[in-house]
Chains A and B, each alone.
Chain A
């Protein structure tokens, strides 16, 4: 290994650590024996996890988050896949305009989106409701599905779909029987990222939540302002495990594609 390679590796490892260190620190903190968020923690205990699962506020928040994230993933995946498929059938301005419009929620600052949505939801009575959360999170998650399914579609041989039509399948049957199975790696990957997007969304969720319906990140944010409770560290650890698992799922499902073609 020559000098420049050593330098490159050192720099890469340093940057990598810099990026993940704050995230990793939360894990030992959640096993702290004392009631503080100090680092390094003193002693070892599972009391904050016990506290998390026994407190209906915390545990309920987790269940809300999981429910909203799962339903959002389903909605965003269906809508995003259809949108990406539609975009693959048009060219030129229509395609560019449509794609940019669909990824806009990724770019618009969450605070602005949150304020606007709050105003709208107040009028329509959607604040603090499950449909309200699904609506908001689906808007935020669709871009990820459009991107992952879009990249799978770019490599999709349209002759397969034509072959299905010629074989006597109408457009719907060809789409369900041939195109969707071919796009499955992108669809699965998009679903995982949609789940993550919803599961750890906090800014928009704060605007549209109510005391009756709160997601876990919102509960953590609120808790943080009132008291120093290491249960937050336990919650953070749980969120991290869930999102890391989903991210790994997302990456693995893209590998599925490479293996098959």
Chain B
């Protein structure tokens, strides 16, 4: 048996799904490289599952085409698409043993008996469940059932593997263990994976690239680092990680390209855009300083600490300030003495701030 597969390329060319008056997914364009691990991330109702269902063939797109390995598969029956899939609720066949479950796709794809046996053994070994082959699914724990589901999905080595929130029914410890298992299997097989999740940490941990969905549209596509450091809009910045957001406007500046302005505050930014904006800074880029230590040359924003959470290596402060607020993280050693209710100043390097042009008026 070959142990690696050539992952398929996947191209979504403007697919749209309308249910009556509701548009569940709108004009989705996406190019997935062979062997890539890509996550569709978003809150419920954002269109990520609808998009996955269209790739699988459970839903037909109202518009647009889907290509696997540059072959148009729009409208092709599900069983001819050569995909594997892991479902949220496992979807193991309750009337078949673990072994029969894993053998099922091999049978449907016309593998002969000895090939079936070898592939089943291989898949069972990959998820370390050899000793459970004769059990019924109901006799297994949730984590074991999902590993059987994973084994079934990879048994015939599909070039494209779809995963629909496969870990969301499991508790946190199990989730992390299975994440590692999924990563390893993806590395071993080389299959292309499309992974749907609403869990940002899961998406960050697993993916080569993440597609952020909201309200039926793709918000941004990028590597985890790109999305975290350069979110394109407020939704992406809020959905992936913590941040401070400030409403204001950008005007012509003296020292830098521009200046973020809100009332008497003027902070330099590296930005060509002019007009109302929202400013975003990640928590680890912000420094808290005591108002007494303020120097004239240091641009800063006045804020009030509303909550303080000790998280081991650092302390998380929730802060509010005029026009915004958010989360600041600082190392436990240097900021232990700030208390809830205390007035502080927030400061950061100009290049750490991101600016989102604002459609809304300033609150």
A residues in contact (CB < 8 Å) with B: 157, 159-160, 162-171, 173-174, 177-178, 181-182, 260-261
Contact = CB atoms under 8 A, between A and B. Distances in A.
Given A173-B108, A181-B95, A182-B94, A165 B78 contact: yes
B319 interface: no
Given A166-B56, A166-B85, A170-B79, A159 B91 contact: yes
A160 B95 CA distance: 11
A165 B81 CA distance: 10
20 contacts: A157-B91, A160-B93, A162-B85, A164-B93, A164-B104, A165-B57, A165-B77, A165-B79, A166-B56, A166-B78, A166-B81, A166-B85, A166-B162, A168-B79, A168-B82, A168-B105, A168-B109, A177-B104, A182-B94, A260-B94
B79 A163 contact: no
Interface of B: 56-58, 77-79, 81-85, 87-89, 91-95, 104-105, 108-109, 138, 152-153, 156, 162
B109 A162 contact: no
Contacts of B58: 162
A203 B153 CA distance: 55
B19 to A, nearest CB: 11
Nearest to B155: A167
B103 to A, nearest CB: 10
B109 A163 contact: no
Nearest to B83: A166
Contacts of A169: 79, 104, 108
A156 to B, nearest CB: 11
Contacts of A167: 79, 104-105, 108, 152
B87 A159 contact: yes
Residue of B87, B89, B91, B105 most packed against chain A (CB within 10 A): B91
Given A169-B79, A170-B77, A173-B108, A163 B94 contact: no
B93 A178 contact: yes
Contact of B94 (A168, A174, A177, A261): A261
Contact of A162 (B77, B91, B95, B108): B91
Nearest to B58: A162
Contacts of B104: 164, 167, 169, 177
A261 B89 CA distance: 14
Nearest to A160: B91
A170 B77 CA distance: 8
A177 B153 CA distance: 18
Given A165-B57, A169-B108, A157 B83 contact: no
A244 to B, nearest CB: 30
Contacts of A160: 91, 93-94
A163 B58 CA distance: 10
A174 B105 CA distance: 11
Contacts of B152: 163, 167
Nearest to A161: B91
A210 B269 CA distance: 99
A159 B89 contact: yes
A170 B80 CA distance: 8
Contact of A166 (B84, B89, B94, B138): B84
B91 A163 contact: yes
A157 B152 CA distance: 18
Nearest to B84: A166
B14 to A, nearest CB: 24
A159 B164 CA distance: 11
Nearest to A261: B94
Contacts of A157: 89, 91
Given A168-B79, A182-B94, A163 B85 contact: yes
The 3 A-B residue pairs with the shortest CB-CB distance, nearest first, are: A168-B108, A167-B105, A159-B91
A79 to B, nearest CB: 24
Nearest to B103: A167
A163 B93 contact: yes
Residue of A162, A166, A260, A261 most packed against chain B (CB within 10 A): A166
A260 to B, nearest CB: 6
Residue of B82, B88, B108 most packed against chain A (CB within 10 A): B108
Nearest to A162: B58
Contacts of A166: 56, 78-79, 81, 83-85, 105, 153, 162
B84 A182 contact: no
A177 B89 CA distance: 20
Given A168-B108, A169-B79, A170-B79, A163 B87 contact: yes
A162 B94 contact: no
A125 B189 CA distance: 67
B8 to A, nearest CB: 15
Contacts of B93: 160, 163-164, 178
